[in-house]
Amino acid sequence: MLGVFNLDAEAESYLVIDRSPFDEDFSRQDEDELYRCLIEFPRVHYWLFLERGLLLRNKRPCSPRHRQMIPLLLSGKAEKDIASELGLTLGTIHSYVVEIYRNFGVKSRAELSSLWISEI
């Protein structure tokens, strides 16, 4: 049985489950379980592809503002402190943070930090 998970337009991940010729055929329940694994564990596929250099870390080049914000995020500063430092509203800073996370395919500062830590 073969399951395919599309990571993006240029990359896909496969999950292959094989049985010996003497085992029973795959049931509908087996197929449902494979589908559940593909849907519930996409981050595993994504990180494996990143780890092997098969995906770019960011989906598009960072804007100058994003490049300015990333070190501030990685330093652990709160969004309100970043907003004060840059003279921007908290809402603007938050929208930049969301854009950066989306661009790098992460959901938290910890995941964003791990992209740099894994390179060291």
Give a yes or no: residue 76 inside a domain. yes
Inter-residue contact 50 to 57 (CB < 8 Å): yes
Question: Residue 114 — very low, low, confident or very high, per pLDDT cuts 50/70/90?
Answer: confident
State whether 12 and 47 are in the same domain.
yes
Percent of the chain predicted with pLDDT > 70: 60
Q: Which amino acid is located at 84 in the chain?
A: S
**DSSP per-residue string spanning 61-111:** PPPHHHHHHHHHHHTT--HHHHHHHHT--HHHHHHHHHHHHHHHT-SSHHH
> From CA 34, how far away is CA 1, in angstroms rounded?
8
User: Higher-confidence residue: 60 or 111?
Assistant: 111
Confidence check: pLDDT of 40 > 70:
no
- Residue 68's domain comprises 64-117
Q: Three-state DSSP class for 9?
A: coil
Pair 36, 72 in one domain: no
Q: Is the pLDDT of residue 111 over 80?
A: yes
Residue 57 lies in a domain: no
Same domain, yes or no, for 10 and 42? yes
Whether 47 is covered by a domain: the verdict is yes
Domain count, the chain: 2
Which band of pLDDT confidence, cut at 50, 70 and 90, is reported for residue 27? confident
Query: Does 38 reside within a domain?
Result: yes
Q: What is the pLDDT of residue 86?
A: 94
Residue 103 is part of a domain; what is its CATH number? 1.10.10.10
Do 44 and 78 lie in a common domain? no
Q: Is the distance from CB of 109 to CB of 97 less than 8 angstroms?
A: no
Domain co-membership, 72 together with 111: yes
Q: Is residue 70 predicted with pLDDT exceeding 50? A: yes
Q: Does residue 59 lie within any of the structural domains? A: no
pLDDT confidence tier of residue 120, bands split at 50, 70 and 90: very low
